[in-house]
Homo-oligomer: A and B are copies of this chain.
């Protein structure tokens, strides 16, 4: 049975969206629960999700392991896996890594766009790579089974994370810079190193990451996916739509500025277009994954290859990533089971 997994979404969650996930046959989604929030604020977000899990048990449940994706398929629901787009949630306390993992966090970006305590974001002028604490934290993330996500990090930081991490890392939502040279997209050097170490790239359909932006052509996107699969290895690519559905523009402002500036920072936007960009016509919400899949086949992928991109590769990655490192004490191993 083919599996459908989205490697990143950040929506204004609602019953409507959960029903769209079901209508689209989405088995699992990695959802962003926190950007610049402190640990306590992140826990408040988990509390919100707990309410949704209690309220909509027929639509969604919390995913913790790859087996939960299968369980989602078997019970006709969507498994929700938590992730953080910035390490603010762990504050300056390495002990919070295991705490957050126990609470279900499965992905954490070492940076958003700025320098963090751990590494350098892709908008900084100078990328100094992993910090002293960054190396310690990657080791701890490896131990407990929390995936290092470098979607928003700079080139050197990303390469150093790939090298320092003893387990494959992910870039959950980005595209190749060679196709569309945005600060957020990734060089062939990064993509090759990612694929060679067993990592995963999730292709973004967020307009700022697309050639032509909101007007990007589906076939152009799918041809890019096929070429990138050739570059990285077809087992190392998936989807990470970066779907930011139903949010007011105040949210993209929070994502970009958090509490680090009193001024406006437009990030990937501009003064002329400060809000969320319009999604491409061929991907508006969770019901449109079939369109991408058809596009991949039209780009020359076999049904099996397209299935791997649409979820099979993420599922294999989940299976090797979310449990404790082998040789760790079995308490952690068991918590991750």
Contact = CB atoms under 8 A, between A and B. Distances in A.
Interface of A: 39-40, 43-44, 46-47, 50-51, 53-54, 57, 61-62, 93, 95-96, 98-99, 102-104, 329-332, 335
Nearest to A47: B95
A95 B57 contact: no
B61 A329 contact: yes
A57 B331 contact: yes
B329 A57 contact: yes
Contact of A329 (B54, B98, B103): B54
A43 B38 CA distance: 14
Contact of A51 (B46, B61, B95): B95
A47 to B, nearest CB: 3
4 pairs of A and B residues whose beta carbons are closest in the complex: A47-B95, A57-B329, A61-B331, A53-B331
Nearest to A56: B329
Given A57-B331, A329-B54, A103 B95 contact: no
Contacts of A332: 54
A331 B98 CA distance: 20
14 contacts: A43-B99, A44-B95, A47-B93, A47-B95, A50-B99, A54-B329, A57-B330, A61-B329, A61-B330, A62-B335, A99-B103, A102-B102, A102-B104, A103-B103
Nearest to A144: B50
Nearest to A68: B334
Contacts of A61: 329-331
Contact of A99 (B47, B96, B330, B335): B47
B329 A46 contact: no
B331 A99 contact: no
A46 B47 CA distance: 19
Contacts of A96: 43, 47
Given A50-B99, A61-B329, A61-B330, 19 more contacts: A39-B43, A43-B99, A47-B93, A47-B95, A47-B98, A47-B99, A50-B95, A50-B98, A53-B329, A53-B331, A54-B329, A54-B331, A54-B332, A57-B329, A57-B330, A62-B331, A102-B102, A102-B103, A102-B104
